[in-house]
Amino acid sequence: MFDLTEDRIKTGIQNFRQSRGERNYHIFTDGGVQNYKSAAILMPLLVYEGRWHLLFTHRSEKLMEHRGQVSFPGGAKEKGDPSMIFTALRETQEEIGIAPEDVTVYGDLGIMPIVTGYLVNMVVGQIPWPYPLKPNPDEVESAFICPLLWLADPDHRTIKYRSFAGREFPIIYFDQFENYQLWGATAQMTINLMEALGVI
């Protein structure tokens, strides 16, 4: 098991922010982002059977954007949201029923622009486990947890090329885990977190 203490997690996040700056450019978005909308996700760490895991959601096919994809809980900032951390926690509660007071927030990894026009603030927190999740069927088909040890293994991920706007881009794909496919921006966010935690 990775020896992740609260201090190590917080220090790793701070060091990552200092090395990367405020914005983490995703390969799809190397141009201007002035018209992008603000959004936030929660990257929920948890300990299960003595091992660190990450929680992901499988998005509903009913959604207009990112339908059917693996993602972290989160969404767009609303007018009344006082902070991006608030946005991440609010969206997490709406999507899978985790109460904000049950999340220990450690910080954030900065902002990543994504191809659908959002500037995504990547909030890192820890949740108790097990937890009585309540997936909102309008937004989430299911939720699952994946061991950090599995995610950190380079044999479980590869690079594939996809066409976008007339160009070929290298995209991170993880192997399927329990029939779930993690790829794209969420895969890159996962890599960023593991780099911050020092597990890769």
What CATH number does the domain located at 6-153 have? 3.90.79.10
CA gap 121, 114 in Å, rounded: 11
Cα three-residue angle 68-173-132, rounded to 5 degrees: 50
Given this model, what pLDDT does residue 33 score? Answer: 66
pTM of the full structure: 0.92
135-151 pLDDT, tens digit per residue, is 999 999 999 999 999 99
Higher pLDDT, 115 or 58: 58
Q: Is the pLDDT of residue 35 over 90?
A: no
From residue 114, how far is each of 129, 174, 186 by CA, in Å? 30, 18, 10
**Closest listed residue to residue 185, CA positions, set 139, 118, 91, 134:** 118
The domain limits of the chain are 6-153
Residues in Cβ contact with 59 at an 8 Å cutoff, skipping those fewer than 6 apart? 66, 67, 68, 69, 70, 71, 139, 140, 141
71-108 pLDDT, tens digit per residue, is 999 999 999 999 999 999 999 999 999 999 999 999 99
